[in-house]
Structure 1
Amino acid sequence: MSRYFSKRIVALITGLLLMSATGFSQLVDVDFLRSAPEDGVKFIEAYISPWANAFGAGMNGSWYNTAKPHKFSGFDLTLGLNVGMVPTSAKSFDVTEIGLSNNLSVTGSNTMAPTAAGGLDKGPEMTYSVNQPGFPPVNVATFNTPPGTSLGFLPAPTAQLGIGLPLGTEVKVRYMPTLDIKNGNVGLWGVGLMHSVMQYIPGSNLLPVDVSLFGAYTKLEANVPLNLEPDGKHTQSYSTYNATTDFNDQKLGITMSAMNVSAIASVNLPVISFYGGLGYSQTQFKAVMSGNFPLPSVEEGEVIYNDAGVKTGDDFPEINVENFSGLRANIGFRLKFSVITIHADYTRTQYNVLSAGLGISFR
C-alpha cells in the first residue's frame, strides 16, 4: 500500500470520525446555555441523544464478515463504513418532559422540539426568567430550541487488523492515535476476540459451515469546540475577563464506548460467504464541558453580563445520554477474490445499522 494511499485512508477515516463528533456541538445553536447550567445540559442530552446512539451502534459494526477465524499467523486488514440509522420516534422530543426547571416557560402551545436528527425548523420559543426580591420577574433570555439537520443517520468508519492465534482464536484490533483536526481532536481504539466452536465438533472440517463466539469493545474520545458569547443586546461589564479572548476556550469533551457479544455463524463457499450473528450490544455516551461560559446575571432588576455570570466547565453537570442496550441480530455476505474481500451486512437493533467494507485477507 503506497504511502500516499495510506495517508488518504487515514484522512478519510479521521475526517468522518471528527465530522460525527463535531456534529454533537457545532450543529447546535447553544443559546439555550444562557439558562441555568442544569437546564442547558438537559437540552444537550435530549438534542444529541439519537445521534449519540446511532453513532454508538455504528461503532459496533464491521467487526466480522465470517465466523471462521484465521489460521495461526493469518491476518486481514479491513476498512468498514457503518451507518447508524435514527428511528422516527427519536427525531423530536417534548421540552416539558425532560425535567427543566420552573424558570423556563414555553411561548405558545407547541412543546415539541427537533433533535439533531429532526427537521430543519427551529423548535418552540422559550423564556428563562428569575425572581429578584423587590423587582418584578426578569426575562433573562429568550431563545428557540435549535433546528435539526434532517440527517437521520450517522457514519462510523472503522479500520481494523485481524490476526490468527493458536487454538482456533483470532484477535482484532482497532486503533487511531489522537489527532488534531479542525479545532478539535479525536482518537479511537478497540479490541475484539473470536473463538471457534466448530473445532470441538468431530468431522466439522468437512462442512463449509463455521460457528464462533465473538466479543468486542470500542472506545472513542474527542474534543470539539463550543461557542457561547455575551448577548450584545445587554450591558457588558467584565473586570476579570476579556469578552473578546477569554471565551474562546469552550470545549465539549466526548467519551463514547460500544460493546457487543454474539454467537456468529457463516457458510463459506469458494467466492461468496454468508454470515450472521445473534447477541447483545450496548453503547455509552458521556461528555463534560470545559472553558469559560458567559451566562447572564441579574442586578437591580436588569440583565447584565459580568464576572458573576461567568461559569466554568465544572459548573455544568456531566452530560449523560440515555444509552440503549439489548439484542442485536445481523446478516450479510462477503465476496472474496484471491486476497481481496468485500462485505455488506444489516444489523437489526434499537438503532439499525447498514455496514459495508473492503479488505485484504491471508490464510
Structure 2
Amino acid sequence: MKKFYAARPLLGLLFVFSVGTVKAQQDVGDLFVSGPADATKLVNAYFDPLYKGLGVGLSDGWNNTARSKGLFKFDVRVSASAAFVPQSARSYDVNALGLSNIKPAAGSSSIGPTAFGADEEGGRMQVYTSSGVPTGKFFNLPQGVGFHVVPSAQIQATLGLPKNIDVSLRAMPKIKLGSDLGSLSMIGFGAKVELLPLFMGNSERLVPVDIAIAGGYTQYKYNLPLNIDNTANSDQRIDAKFSGVNFDAIVSKKIMFFTPFASVGYQTSKTDLKALGTYSFATSATTSATYTDPIAVKQTDVDGLRGSIGFQLKFGFFKFYGSYTAAKYSMVNAGIGLGIGQ
C-alpha cells in the first residue's frame, strides 16, 4: 500500500518522543486530485486529535511547586506528557466536512479513523470533478495508529533570580530526524513569581503554604522536504509550527522531601501548518491538475481553563515529578530533574 505522505511528517514529529512505526497510509496525491479545499478539510479532520493533544502538552510540566528557587539556584529537567484522546475524537464523518469533490463510494461507509483512531482503513471514497462527474479515482480514508494517547516532551532549565522569581528556558536546537522525517526544533520561555514573600518578607509566614503565579510559551517547528509523484518539483515541503501559551496560579506545601501542589489556569495553543510547493497529478487518462501551496492550516486548537494536581519528590540533587491535568484533553506528566536548591 502506498504511504500517506501527509501523515508521515506529523507522526514523525510525534514519535520522536514515543514509540511505534508510522503505518502505511494512502497517497496524499489521491486527496489533492479533488483540490486543495477538500484536501485541507480531510487533513484537518484526520489530525484534529494531534493538534489538540500536542497543544495541551506544549504548556504542560512547567512547574511542580509554588516555591521559587534561591538566588542563582538552578535545575534541569526532562519530562514527558501523555494526552488522552476521547472516544468522540477517534473518528470523523466525511459527510459532515462539507467536501465538494469527494463522496463515499456506493455502499461504502463515510466514517474514517483519525490519526489516533483504530488501526484500520476508513470508508472507500470516490473523487468527482467540480461539475459532479466521476473521475474514476478511488481511495480509502487513512487508518489510525491504533492507540489513543498523544505524547509530547519537555526539556527545561530553570534559574532562581532576585525577588523570588524563577525563569525557565525550553530549548532544543534544530535536529535532523533523517531523510524520511525531516527536522525539528523547540524553543520556550517561562517565569514564576512566588507571592507571599512580596507581602510578608522573610519573617515567619502566617500562611502555611506557598503561592505563586506562572506563565510560559512553547513552540515546536517542523520541516520536511517532500517528493510526491513529482521528481521535477523540488520545492515541495511541509512547514509547521505548534505553539502554546499558559498562565497558572499554583499552591503547594513542602513536607520534608515531598511537595504536593495544585494549580488552576488558562491555556491556548495554535497550529500553523502548510504544504508548500507545486504538485501535479493526473486526474484522468487525458487530463491533469497542478496545485501550488495546496494546504494551509492556521487555527486555534485549545483555548480554555485547566486544573492540575501533582507532586515533587526531592532527594539531594535529584528530583522526581508527576502530575495530572484536566483540560481540553486530560493528560498526565512525569519527569526527572537534577539541580541545586529548591
Which range, TM-score by smaller chain?
0.7 to 0.9
1: distance between equivalents of 2:108 and 2:134?
A: 22
1: distance between equivalents of 2:172 and 2:83?
A: 21
Partner in structure 1 of residue 319 of structure 2: 341
Partner in structure 2 of residue 263 of structure 1: 249
Tell me whether 204-213 or 336-345 shows the greater mean CA deviation: 204-213
Report how far residue 208 of structure 1 moved.
Answer: 5.1
Tell me whether 64-73 or 105-114 shows the greater mean CA deviation: 105-114
Q: Structure 1 residues 16, 290: CA separation in 2 closer, same or farther (over 3 Å shift)? A: closer
Q: Structure 1 residues 262, 340: CA separation in 2 closer, same or farther (over 3 Å shift)? A: same
1: distance between equivalents of 2:240 and 2:13?
A: 16
Question: CA contact under 8 A between 1:65 and 1:333: conserved in structure 2?
Answer: yes
Report whether the alignment pairs 1:39 with 2:38.
yes
Q: Quote the sequence identity (%).
A: 29
Report how far residue 204 of structure 1 moved.
Answer: 5.5
Question: CA contact under 8 A between 1:35 and 1:295: conserved in structure 2?
Answer: no
Partner in structure 2 of residue 210 of structure 1: 210
1: distance between equivalents of 2:234 and 2:184?
A: 19
Question: CA contact under 8 A between 1:140 and 1:296: conserved in structure 2?
Answer: no
Structure 2 portions without partners, runs of 5+: 1-11
Question: CA contact under 8 A between 2:85 and 2:116: conserved in structure 1?
Answer: yes
1: distance between equivalents of 2:121 and 2:333?
A: 32
Partner in structure 2 of residue 73 of structure 1: 72
1: distance between equivalents of 2:208 and 2:150?
A: 35
Q: Structure 1 residues 335, 61: CA separation in 2 closer, same or farther (over 3 Å shift)? A: same
Count of residues paired in the alignment: 322
Residue 99 of structure 2: SS of its match in structure 1? coil
Alignment of 1:1-363 (within 5 A): 19=16, 28-29=25-26, 30=28, 31-101=30-100, 103-107=101-105, 108=107, 110-130=109-129, 137-183=133-179, 184-202=182-200, 203=203, 205=205, 209-226=209-226, 228-229=228-229, 243=230, 245-247=231-233, 250-297=236-283, 302-305=285-288, 309-313=289-293, 316-320=294-298, 323-363=301-341
Question: CA contact under 8 A between 1:198 and 1:204: conserved in structure 2?
Answer: no
Question: CA contact under 8 A between 2:13 and 2:184: conserved in structure 1?
Answer: no
1: distance between equivalents of 2:120 and 2:251?
A: 45
2: distance between equivalents of 1:180 and 1:131?
A: 40
Q: Structure 1 residues 258, 204: CA separation in 2 closer, same or farther (over 3 Å shift)? A: farther
Question: CA contact under 8 A between 1:266 and 1:273: conserved in structure 2?
Answer: yes
2: distance between equivalents of 1:353 and 1:158?
A: 14
Question: CA contact under 8 A between 1:216 and 1:260: conserved in structure 2?
Answer: yes
Question: CA contact under 8 A between 2:126 and 2:134: conserved in structure 1?
Answer: no
2: distance between equivalents of 1:27 and 1:154?
A: 19
Residue 301 of structure 2: SS of its match in structure 1? coil
1: distance between equivalents of 2:338 and 2:312?
A: 12
* Amino acid aligned to 2:222: A
Instruction: Provide the TM-score with structure 1 as the length reference.
Output: 0.82
Partner in structure 2 of residue 237 of structure 1: none
Residue 240 of structure 2: SS of its match in structure 1? strand
Q: Structure 1 residues 227, 87: CA separation in 2 closer, same or farther (over 3 Å shift)? A: farther
Structure ID, larger Rg? 1
Report how far residue 125 of structure 1 moved.
Answer: 1.3
Question: CA contact under 8 A between 2:268 and 2:300: conserved in structure 1?
Answer: no
Question: CA contact under 8 A between 1:162 and 1:172: conserved in structure 2?
Answer: yes
Question: CA contact under 8 A between 2:195 and 2:213: conserved in structure 1?
Answer: yes
1: distance between equivalents of 2:275 and 2:50?
A: 18
Question: CA contact under 8 A between 1:82 and 1:355: conserved in structure 2?
Answer: yes
Structure 1 portions without partners, runs of 5+: 1-14, 230-242
